[in-house]
Amino acid sequence: MKHFGKFTGVLLGASALMAVSAGAVELNIVHGAIGKDNEVLRKELDRYQEMTGNTVNIVSMPESTTDQFGQYKLWLSAKSPDIDVYRIDVIGAPQLADHFVDLTEATADIIDQFVPASVESQTVDGKLVALPMFLGAPALYYRTDLLEKYDRPVPKTWDEMTETAQIIMDGERAEGNGDMWGFVFQGAPYEGLTCNGQEWIYSYGGGRIVELDGSIAINNPEAAEALNMAKSWVGTIAPQGVLNYMEEDARGVFQSGNAVFMRNWNYAYALADGPDSPVKGKFDVTTLPVGAEGDSSAATLGGWHLAVSKYSPNPDEAIELVKFLNNFENQKERAIETSRPPTVTAVYDDPEVAEAQPFIPRWKPVVLNALPRPSAATKRKYNEVSSEFWTAVHDTLSGDGTAEQNLAKLEAKLKRLRGNGW
């Protein structure tokens, strides 16, 4: 087994140690994961190993998507043969496409089974650089029992959510739960804050970080209003520590029963509804609120997809592994056990999926109409764009400059980054 550096550890299932047949190969899949992702993947890989005689090791990654991307760039820039298959964030394709095998021909017989938007997101210059694994779009999680207790409706606007969160938080604390918070989300300075921030701004009519045509109009009054609203949550309905929260931090608070509302991705649903969860049967999800009636709800398009490294010593086996992991049966299992929305369209209509995870068929239109980050518009500069954006948002949330000041600085920095073109 090769050494993968301080960022990773190799998780070997028992079947990874079994003797392999003549001609079998060893593959490594890097899989930054949260929740039950690795557990389910290991089961799928065990089945693959039994079928093929090949061995597959999971190379685990830190939770932060930003740290993952940085490590991916190091491996790929070095043309490392150590990793055969990468689980890549939806925004990664335009930035790392040159390092991945074109899967167009290898998937020609199955690609029409996939959600078209997912395929489009992974197609760069006419080449399919990753096979879509699962999609994502965040929701507003809310405690049904507490809204009923305080006779509050499911909020449709951010103002309504803020008011309800304050009322219920104050009421529960008065009854002895000093750990109760009104709202938790991802406020740390990383890619997750880019997702939250663009949702707030778009839902207030403030447009996109970078518009589809590459223009920059983020410095506007609606965007400032959205960020000022979010700043008002910190230290009131959200803990000061939310400035360091990632997905699992927010889930931990909500699932322990100590938050009224949570913004999080689909994966959290299955965990919060697990048999040992304190909030099982006490929560539901709805679309993220809007700034005002008539504004559009915004849920960031997420998802993770499987790409084959050009530097893999076993590209044919790696391609077959990617296809296997994304077949109907495995996508169905993944949807049931992790609540990850599938990329194979037929899975949404499967009755067993609907029974186990009613969230998924209900969320199909949200996923299909989710708001993409500007990775296509900004191409290889997206990572820098996102970093500048989340920094401006985090500075505002932290009280380091006003929303208006930070958006003006952001506009100037983005224009310098763009130069004569993205």
Q: Tell me, what amino acid is at 145? A: D
pLDDT greater than 60 at residue 395: yes
pLDDT greater than 70 at residue 19: no
Q: Which two tokens stand for residue 360?
A: 């998924």
CA dihedral sign, ordered 276, 278, 279, 280 = positive
pLDDT greater than 60 at residue 334: yes
Q: How confident is the model at residue 406 (pLDDT cuts 50, 70, 90)?
A: very high
The pLDDT tens digits of the residues spanning 363-373 come to 777 777 788 88
Residues 6+ positions from 126 with CB-CB distance below 8 Å: 104
Pick the CATH number of 9-129+302-368 from 3.40.190.10, 3.40.50.10490, 3.60.9.10, 3.40.50.300: 3.40.190.10
User: What number is the average pLDDT over the span 137-142?
Assistant: 94
pLDDT greater than 50 at residue 15: no
More confident residue, 10 or 194: 194
- Measured in residues, the chain has a length of 422
Q: How confident is the model at residue 224 (pLDDT cuts 50, 70, 90)?
A: very high
What interhelical angle do 221-233 and 191-203 show, nearest 10? 120
- pLDDT score, position 294: 86
User: What number is the average pLDDT over the span 208-220?
Assistant: 94
CA nearest to 89, candidates 344, 323, 265, 349: 265
CA nearest to 17, candidates 61, 60, 56: 56
CA nearest to 343, candidates 141, 84, 128, 194: 128
Query: In Å, what is the CA distance from 303 to each residue of 71, 136, 137?
Result: 19, 5, 8
The pLDDT tens digits of the residues spanning 95-138 come to 899 999 999 999 999 999 998 888 888 888 889 999 999 998 89
Q: Give the separation between CA 292 and CA 279, rounded to whole angstroms.
A: 30
One fold for 9-129+302-368 and 139-300+374-418: yes
- pLDDT score, position 173: 98
Which residue in the block uniquely carries the two structure tokens 């999971």?
Answer: 58
Q: Give the separation between CA 382 and CA 152, rounded to whole angstroms.
A: 41
Q: Give the separation between CA 133 and CA 357, rounded to whole angstroms.
A: 18
Q: Give the separation between CA 151 and CA 163, rounded to whole angstroms.
A: 13
- pLDDT score, position 417: 96
Q: How confident is the model at residue 35 (pLDDT cuts 50, 70, 90)?
A: confident
Q: Give the separation between CA 209 and CA 28, rounded to whole angstroms.
A: 36
Please tell me what DSSP assigns to residue 84: S
Residues 6+ positions from 220 with CB-CB distance below 8 Å: 206, 207, 407
**Strand, coil or helix: what is 46?**
helix
**Domain locations along the chain:** 9-129+302-368, 139-300+374-418
Q: How confident is the model at residue 64 (pLDDT cuts 50, 70, 90)?
A: confident
**26 φ, ψ (degrees, to nearest 5):** -110, 130
3-state DSSP of 181-229:
EEEECCCCCCHHHHHHHHHHHHHCCCCCCCCCCCCCCCCCHHHHHHHHH
Q: Residues of the chain with pLDDT > 70: what percent?
A: 94
Q: Which fold has domain 139-300+374-418?
A: D-Maltodextrin-Binding Protein; domain 2 (3.40.190)
Q: Which two tokens stand for residue 218?
A: 């983020």
pLDDT greater than 80 at residue 1: no
Q: How confident is the model at residue 362 (pLDDT cuts 50, 70, 90)?
A: confident
Is the pTM above the cut of 0.95?
no
Q: How confident is the model at residue 213 (pLDDT cuts 50, 70, 90)?
A: confident
Query: In Å, what is the CA distance from 407 to each residue of 120, 197, 212, 419?
Result: 31, 12, 19, 18
Q: Which helix (H) or strand (E) holds 88?
A: strand 85-89
User: What number is the average pLDDT over the span 211-224?
Assistant: 94
Cα dihedral value 389, 395, 396, 398, nearest 10: 140
Q: Give the separation between CA 45 and CA 56, rounded to whole angstroms.
A: 7
Cα 83 from chain centroid (whole Å): 22
Whether residue 96 contacts residue 122, with contact meaning beta carbons closer than 8 Å, is answered with no
- pLDDT score, position 20: 38
Q: Which two tokens stand for residue 58?
A: 């999971």
Q: Give the separation between CA 290 and CA 85, rounded to whole angstroms.
A: 39
Q: Find the DSSP H helices in 204-256.
A: 221-233, 247-255
CA nearest to 58, candidates 24, 96, 26: 26
User: What number is the average pLDDT over the span 217-237?
Assistant: 98
- pLDDT score, position 12: 33
Q: Say how many CA atoms lie within 13 Å of 121 toward its Cβ.
A: 33
Q: Give the separation between CA 387 and CA 377, rounded to whole angstroms.
A: 15
pLDDT greater than 90 at residue 72: yes
What interhelical angle do 37-52 and 315-325 show, nearest 10? 120
Greatest distance between any 2 Cα atoms in the chain: 68
The pLDDT tens digits of the residues spanning 276-331 come to 999 999 999 999 999 988 888 999 988 999 999 999 999 999 999 999 999 999 99
User: What number is the average pLDDT over the span 74-89?
Assistant: 96
Q: Look at strands 139-143 and 85-89 and give their pairing.
A: unpaired
User: What number is the average pLDDT over the span 228-252?
Assistant: 98
pLDDT greater than 70 at residue 17: no
- pLDDT score, position 8: 39
**Strand, coil or helix: what is 11?**
strand
- Per the prediction, the chain carries an average pLDDT of 91
Which residue in the block uniquely carries the two structure tokens 């697990």?
Answer: 274
The pLDDT tens digits of the residues spanning 171-209 come to 999 999 999 999 999 999 999 999 999 999 999 999 999
